[in-house]
Amino acid sequence: MESGCEECGFRVEAPVARLDAATLGVFSDARLPGRCVLVLDTHAEHFEQLDPALSRRFMEDVARAARAIREVTGAPRINYALLANQVNHLHWHLFPRGLPDDPDPRVSPWELASPELPLAPARIESLRAALAQALERDGSDG
């Protein structure tokens, strides 16, 4: 997945780790540092049409990624979104929410009034490293 989907070309920009069925990457959004995407490793467009075993593995990856994001950011909650309106390759958006610098914790990420600005490259790198470590710890527990 790091080199891009062979079918549609979608790729993870700032990959953190390959999980069981999907690859986690940091999404550059300075409003919500720690925002991530979790991209299915095989090309598929419709979640409801996935093989049930694959959809379960994908969802376990979502939970594992969310635990890592909460651990690294200290966010009290995670927002989850699966849209595929613009990129037709299944990927979850995971947003750390409710931190003191959250622009508006009560609204959905797409309703935030502040513009989406990129994270500093150094911040992306530190998040990648911290998330990878958190995932490793989580994986070794069970």
Instruction: Give the residues lining the site for Zn ion (CB under 5 A).
Output: 5, 7-8, 10, 43, 89
Closest residue to bound Zn ion by CB: 5
Measured in residues, the chain has a length of 142
Task: Name the residue nearer to Zn ion (CB basis): 78 or 90.
Answer: 90
Burial class of residue 47, CB neighbours in 10 A (0-12, 13-18, 19+) = middle
Report the nearest approach of Zn ion to the CB of residue 74 (Å). Answer: 33
Q: CA 61 to CA 55: how far, in whole Å?
A: 10
Task: Name the residue nearer to Zn ion (CB basis): 24 or 127.
Answer: 24
Answer whether 56's CB lies under 8 Å from 37's CB: no
Report the nearest approach of Zn ion to the CB of residue 43 (Å). Answer: 3
Task: Name the residue nearer to Zn ion (CB basis): 87 or 112.
Answer: 87
Report the nearest approach of Zn ion to the CB of residue 133 (Å). Answer: 29
Q: CA 94 to CA 106: how far, in whole Å?
A: 16
Report the nearest approach of Zn ion to the CB of residue 93 (Å). Answer: 16
Task: Name the residue nearer to Zn ion (CB basis): 89 or 97.
Answer: 89
Task: Name the residue nearer to Zn ion (CB basis): 10 or 70.
Answer: 10
Neighbours of 140 (CB within 10 A): 7
Report the nearest approach of Zn ion to the CB of residue 18 (Å). Answer: 16
Rounded to the nearest angstrom, the gap between the alpha carbon of residue 52 and the centroid of all alpha carbons in its chain is: 21
Q: CA 88 to CA 10: how far, in whole Å?
A: 9
